[in-house]
Amino acid sequence: MKTLSLLALLILFLVPFASADFGDDLTAFFSESANWMGSQIGFIFSGKEIATQTLFAILLFMVLYTSVDALFRKKWPFTVIVTGIITALAIIALPPNFLTSIRNQYGALGATILAIIPFLIILIFTIRVESNLVGRVLWIFYALYYFALYIYSIATEKNGWLSAENIPYFAAIIGGIVLFLFISPIRNAIF
């Protein structure tokens, strides 16, 4: 199962890079391959959002495989067949609107992780460094950097002050200002 999971992840990560590196020929190949795959397995997914449902099917298969494997130990072919049947039935019975709501949760997960990681890196660094001046300079630079991105977004894209695209910038500015002001009490509370 580990080999299958690693192979699936490798393919998912390498396809966009290979497509970008080899240009139009490889892009056309993947487009034709996707069209062929859609015609072959489209009936399972009712012809809608085949790629998304395929990725969810892979995730579901990996989770179910561990559960089914616990029931049928060391019977690999039987485990794969049972897991495949359960996965196919789950994907066929999945309503299209439910798929959209699940996809939004994964988007929220990715956005949260990507937004929090830079903040945590700077937070840990500024707490670990002993100088308050260094911590405050980093946080004011952080707030100013996101302020510049915020203003640039408003000026170039005609977005409102609190549009969906600008809320992360606004939150980063507030977080940077709060930590600029309270880095010493936060450091003292931790240590």
Q: Is the dihedral of CA 96, 99, 103, 104 positive or negative?
A: positive
C-alpha distances (whole Å) from 20 to each of 9, 24, 26, 48 are 18, 8, 8, 26
Note the pTM of the prediction, 2 decimals: 0.51
For residue 22, pLDDT beyond 50: no
**Domain range spanning residue 142?**
112-190
Mean pLDDT of the chain: 76
- Specify whether 74 is located in the same domain as 142: no
CA angle 105, 39, 61 (to 5 degrees): 40
Q: Are residues 75 and 127 in the same domain?
A: no
Which is more confident, 109 or 177? Answer: 177
Q: Which of these, 90, 147, 55, 83, lies nearest to 75 by C-alpha position?
A: 83
C-alpha 181/C-alpha 188 separation (Å) is 14
Q: Which tens digit of pLDDT belongs to each residue from 106-143?
A: 877 887 888 788 888 888 888 888 888 988 999 999 99
Question: Is 127 inside a domain boundary?
Answer: yes
Name the domain count of the chain: 2
